[in-house]
Structure 1
Amino acid sequence: MMKKQFRFLFPTLEELFETLNSHLGFNVEIKYAMEYRHGGSEQNHYFERNEYIDCILQCLINHAGKRVIILSTFDPDCVSMLRLKQTLFPVLFLTQGEKGDWPQFLDVRTWLINIGLYFVITEHLSGLAAPVLDILSNKEFVKQVKDNGKLLFIWGDEASDKEVSKCLLELRIDSLIFDHVAELKDEHSTTENLFISEECEELEVLNNFRQKQLELQHRQLLQELERLKTAREKTNSPILSPTNQISKTPTNFGQDQLSIIDTNSKHFILPTYFDEKSWYILFGFMTFIIAYIFSRCITLQDVDNDPIYQRARLYSMQKQHRKVT
């Protein structure tokens, strides 16, 4: 469904890209005036090829986005320029064939489908677009195109016939080009729509990418939880040797606490949980230890050199002397 109405009766290519579904593909047939075999031309005044092709390619590159774009034209020189100027979009060569009743062009490369295929192979084009009647009269030509690794599109009003289109699809051609395609949309339901499959493929890739992201985030979360769990266990649970035993021993603090007894050295390891009384007892014990260490480290010589001790000693001697007198 169109998001907005076109400003003019004939919208520009840029307006089509901006308005229509972003997954809707385009077969851009580039019209260029060609001379007829029996004299005359399709148009007397026309653009210079380089400027004309550059303008179209610039619009495609800037506004086509991710669409499936196919370029095609009857003019052999234009198709060569399209192939040489870019590599983003496949280029097809349109041929007239010899079975139709339309005026034949002067350029011999458009006369026969066989000549057209040789030109496609020489110019390294993506494929050929041939008229329906020439393919129906020479069905072996389809295999010849496929053997050379090229695409084969079929165009013409005859392709709108149900039996003809069914026959062509059985030949494994790549695409049909005709008017009123919607009338046959349910006739060949087994044929995959290129543009719908492109959209489904893009959605599938996006969903797979999101799924992989979620799986990666899930694994990272599990690893982080496992790491936190291991760190917590190491913090709360001391490492035991084979000769150590864990026992539930009653304490004097009013509740049972987890403690560890070394059976070899008979040393008591401090409990892992402390209440308020335990902290007081631990503080007193540590104070006694620190005082004991200081008493062992500080000598009498160190005391004699202490000015505070000297003043205290002098005050004590003066006090004793007063009592004596």
Structure 2
Amino acid sequence: MRVTDLLLEEFLSYGVQKEPHKVSKPLLRRMEDGRVLTWSTEEDDYLCTLQEVFEHVSPHLGFNIELKFDDNIIYPSVNLNRALQAVLQVVFQYAGNRPLFFSTFQPDAARITRELQSVYPVLFLTEGGTAKHDDTRRNSLDNAIHVCQEYDLHGVVSEVRGVLKNPSAILKAQESNLAILTYGQLK
């Protein structure tokens, strides 16, 4: 099952449990090649809600809230809107004055998040042309900058190889008053 298909109680039943007597369900991870493996980490802790994170993490610590959606699903706007409103409700109620921004690889989720609120920056995540997607808005750094301009987003977060492959995009982003951040192994 996808995380998005689980009710909260089902989600919290996976992995390490808060109450030691509770039996947990194993966490699994589907690899790109289709294999399903047991999720293993060096240190495990129980799953929690965004509300709990806001309540227990220092209010001085900033957050990048990545809004994740399945690459292989075309989401109707009403479904994206419902999911994003649920996240925003928790953010507005519990985030306080901590610095935070939203980021997502899903262009329509970025647009809707921006339409639903103007308090926090919204950045568009991209692989910068290092991978191909059915949604052409995701297939280059130039396309990502165009998405930001069209949807009045605050900037782009690109895989660093995408920026190295297209360094002129930095100037293009700056001229559009967009932040440009990078992630990836080469950083």
TM-score by length of 1: 0.42
Aligned counterpart for 1:14 among listed residues 51, 54, 57: 51
Question: Deviation at 1:138?
Answer: 2.3
Percent identity, please.
28
**Residue 127 (structure 1) aligns with:** 155
- Structure 2 residue aligned with 1:139: 167
- The answer for unaligned runs of 5 or more in structure 1 is 1-5, 36-40, 160-325
Q: Distance in 2 between matches of 1:49 and 1:99?
A: 26
Rounded to whole Å, the distance in 2 between the matches of 1:48 and 1:118 is 24
Q: How far 1:157 moved relative to its partner? A: 2.2
Q: Where do residues 1-325 of structure 1 align in structure 2 (5 Å cutoff)?
A: 7=18, 9-35=46-72, 41=73, 48-100=79-131, 104-159=132-187
1:139 positional shift: 2.1
AA aligned to 2:180 is: L
Looking at structure 2, the residues matched to 139 and 107 of structure 1 have their Cα atoms a distance apart, in angstroms, of: 23
> Residues of 2 paired with 1:30 and 1:11: CA distance?
16
Q: Quick one: distance in 2 between partners of 1:106 and 1:90?
A: 26
Q: Equivalents in 2 of 1:143, 1:84: separation in Å?
A: 26
Check whether the contact 2:128–2:163 (CA below 8 A) recurs between aligned residues: no
Residues paired across the two proteins, number: 143
Question: In 2, Cα distance between the equivalents of 1:48 and 1:119?
Answer: 20
Aligned to 1:252: none
Tell me the C-alpha RMSD between the 2 structures.
2.1
Structure 2 counterpart SS, 1:154: strand
Q: Which has the higher helix share?
A: 1
Deviation at 1:142, TM superposition (A): 1.2
Letter in 2 for 1:70: F
SS where residue 163 of structure 2 aligns?
A: helix
Per the normalisation by structure 2, the TM-score is 0.71
**Greater relative contact order: 1 or 2 (C-alpha under 8 angstroms, separation 6 or more)?**
2
- Secondary structure at 1:27 match in 2: strand
Distance across 2 between alignment mates of 1:49 and 1:147: 31
